[in-house]
Amino acid sequence: MLTISLGFVMHLYRVIFADDLALKYAVTVTTDRILLVPMTYAAITGILVWHRVRFANNRHRAAFTASIGYIAGSVPLHVYMSYVIRDVALLTWFPMWSSYLLLIVVYPAFLTMFWRLRYTY
């Protein structure tokens, strides 16, 4: 939940302050590196515990799988931006509507789904 919450805040900054101010003050290489730690942890642990999660239904399974895919797929992008090119301006390649979509639909769905997760022992 920490990873999605941090991503939520970063995208919220982008929507409120636009790309120029967000990239200058909030979405920096340093904050991207900080976000990369829980993101990598969430991706690895999500993949490892997938078989132990008790899904309520197929939609729940699909949402969990999509969230792990989203987080795991984002890790290489953030590694590239933080350590290879050392520039987060690449994020402006994604249109602003993608941040709105993440804030309004995707992140609330993921946070709700994570809140309701149960594991088998």
Answer yes or no: pTM beyond 0.75: yes
Domain count for the chain: 1
Show the domain range for 112. 2-119
The pLDDT tens digits of the residues spanning 49-76 come to: 999 999 888 999 999 999 999 999 999 9
Alpha carbon of residue 18 to chain centroid? 19
pLDDT of residue 119: 84
Q: How far apart are CA 98 and CA 109, in angstroms?
A: 15
Residues 84-101 have a mean pLDDT of: 95
Give the chain's length: 121
